[in-house]
Amino acid sequence: MEEVQKHIRCKKGDIASYVLTPGSVERVEKIADHFDNKELVTRHREYLIYNGQYKGVDVTVCSTGIGGPSTSIALEEMIKVGADTFIRVGSCGARQPDIEIGDVIVVDSAFRGEGTSKEYVDSAFPAVADHYVTAALIEAVKDKGRKLHIGTSYTRDAYYKQNPALNELLTEYNVKCSEQECSTIYTLARIHGVRSGGIVGTDSNILLPEQPTLAEKEELFAKAEQESIEIALEAIYKLAEQDKK
């Protein structure tokens, strides 16, 4: 009998090989609404999982919670039950003045500012997305006619801790954004020999001279969130078509 994983409560055959990994359980519901034959698989702790199909491709969505620890648990357990392609669909704060709130960013690499991935491997090990996943995301962004931002994210642990000197360096070194999961996903995927990538919608930018209200930010982000979901699903479809060849 196949072993059921402790946290995601799944065993081999319960989920697809292609998985979207938002942090938010609310975003899981929004993603699953795009599926054909949406089916609830499990709901346990911060992990909400649905299966379905998108353009005939079997796909799963699983929330990871906020930050590295819960994300690493989700990745480890999903890999054990057969998932091999992960796309993070998340939110971020922009770290470049030309990135507007509501823009989307394809994250091809991550500055490992969080602690979880360092429990696995030395900090010199790179957190890099899979080339083919990134290429599929870029193509999907272009298909939608959206402005393409692509580059490195700063993945951190302490959401409310601001470091002005570090923020200046992130902007100087052309880091596109900051968020809390990419480097954990990319590092673990590399270690385990599976594919990963990420697209994030911008919900803030500390470099803007005039800051919108929270309500204005949420309205701008809602469009980016929806587009990120659509782009990620199209990227899954493109990868599945490539994988057939």
pLDDT digit string (tens) for 206-232? 999 999 999 999 999 999 999 999 999
Percent of the chain predicted with pLDDT > 90: 97
Percent of the chain predicted with pLDDT > 70: 100
Residue 72 has pLDDT above 80, yes or no: yes
pLDDT digit string (tens) for 38-70? 999 999 999 999 999 999 999 999 999 999 999
Beta-strand pair 47-54/57-62:
antiparallel
Q: How far apart are alpha carbons 7 and 93 in whole angstroms? A: 29
Residue 203 has pLDDT above 90, yes or no: yes
pLDDT digit string (tens) for 182-191? 999 999 999 9
Q: Under the phi-then-psi rule, with left for phi > 0, alpha for psi from -120 to 50, and beta for the rest, what region is 152?
A: beta
Residue 129 has pLDDT above 90, yes or no: yes
Per-residue pLDDT band for 200 (boundaries 50, 70, 90) equals very high
pLDDT digit string (tens) for 1-42? 578 999 999 999 999 999 999 999 999 999 999 999 999 999
Query: What integer pLDDT is reported at residue 239 of this predicted model?
Result: 98
Per-residue pLDDT band for 245 (boundaries 50, 70, 90) equals confident
Per-residue pLDDT band for 123 (boundaries 50, 70, 90) equals very high
**In the chain, alpha helices (H):** 25-32, 68-80, 131-143, 164-172, 182-192, 214-244
Which residues does 189 contact at the CB level (< 8 Å), separation at least 6?
A: 75, 86, 130, 195, 196
Tokens 């994250």 belong to residue:
107
Sorted by where each starts, the structural domains of the chain and their CATH numbers stand as 18-244 (3.40.50.1580)
Query: What integer pLDDT is reported at residue 1 of this predicted model?
Result: 59
